[in-house]
Amino acid sequence: MIQIENLTKRYGRFTAVDGISLTAEPGRITGFLGPNGAGKSTAMRMLVGLTPPTSGTATVLGRRYVDLTNPAAQVGTMLDASAQHAGRTGREVLTLAAMMAGVGRAEVDRALERVALTPAEADRRVGRYSLGMRQRLGLAGALVGDPEVLVLDEPANGLDPAGIRWMRSLLQEFADEGGTVLLSSHLLHEVEQVADDLVVIGRGRIVARGTKEELLRSSSTLVDSPERARLGQALARAGLPAEAHPTGGFLVEAGPEPLARLALAEQLPLTEVRPGDQRLEELFLSLTADDAREHSA
């Protein structure tokens, strides 16, 4: 379990993280989504004690990270997969992580196996790894101490679609055994494939949160009729906000019931009544486009 309450980080007059609160539950994968510069890494660094917060609290397993008895074994972290020592082999990097977590060589082999790095690959220098291999090694480092919680910053970075599917099943297995996963991404498509719950951050503030299903659920209905013109007139008369949809029919800001009643009253045949395609993508873009623009300006 991860609990963040009113967490704020200011650098001088700039507020990087602005009073955010979020919870990541055991048994679930929580995606922390936001455009570049939204404050994800800063929040995660505060969570694991690498950056002191200006105010607010962050706890893992009920305690501040620095107060955990053996943080390296209780919380697996991967905050910057590209920061691994290029001159060391993957196995050496992992052996160091295992020592910090107080576990032995058998766990190193087990972690390598879990992330599907072969012994030959493990004995290669990290400088010669692809980005995807570095991510796998970073995940192995997070898993090696057999933690209850994983905190992963952009773990899908550099993975191809098959790699993302693989990561999803690995993290799902971890969550199914009761583990807590908090992972960040600036790419909606990635996080949508991996997470159960989503927290969306823009310009340091939480702008949406909920289960993936909740956030994907549509508030509009797509409706169509062979008598489209008459349908349009009926919608206008009924005062239902509607706009023409590119694929035909109308996108109406209403649930299906008022539309069914309208069709019955107007004796209108309907060929389509289904949830409008309010994809999470639109939500993400509309919620964060301005933030992203201002940051890059």
Ligand X SMILES: Nc1ncnc2c1ncn2[C@@H]1O[C@H](COP(=O)(O)OP(=O)(O)OP(=O)(O)O)[C@@H](O)[C@H]1O
What are the residues binding ligand X (CB under 6 A)? 11, 16, 34, 36-42, 186, 295
Q: Select 186 or 209, whichever has its Cβ closest to ligand X.
A: 186
Structure tokens at 259: 């539309």
Q: Count Cβ atoms below 10 Å from residue 253 Cβ, excluding itself.
A: 12
Q: Select 20 or 117, whichever has its Cβ closest to ligand X.
A: 20
The CB-of-267 to ligand X minimum distance in angstroms stands at 54
The CB-of-211 to ligand X minimum distance in angstroms stands at 22
Q: Select 46 or 68, whichever has its Cβ closest to ligand X.
A: 46
The CB-of-295 to ligand X minimum distance in angstroms stands at 6
The CB-of-153 to ligand X minimum distance in angstroms stands at 7
Consecutive H or E run containing 211: strand 205-211
Q: Select 182 or 235, whichever has its Cβ closest to ligand X.
A: 182
Q: Select 34 or 141, whichever has its Cβ closest to ligand X.
A: 34
Is-contact 19 42, C-beta < 8 A?
A: no
Tell me how far CA of residue 104 lies from CA of 66, 97, 108, 144, 268, in angstroms: 23, 10, 7, 9, 72
Concatenating the DSSP letter of every residue in 117-151 gives --HHHHTSBGGG--HHHHHHHHHHHHHTT--SEEE
The CB-of-210 to ligand X minimum distance in angstroms stands at 20
Cα dihedral 49, 78, 138, 295 in deg (nearest 10): -120
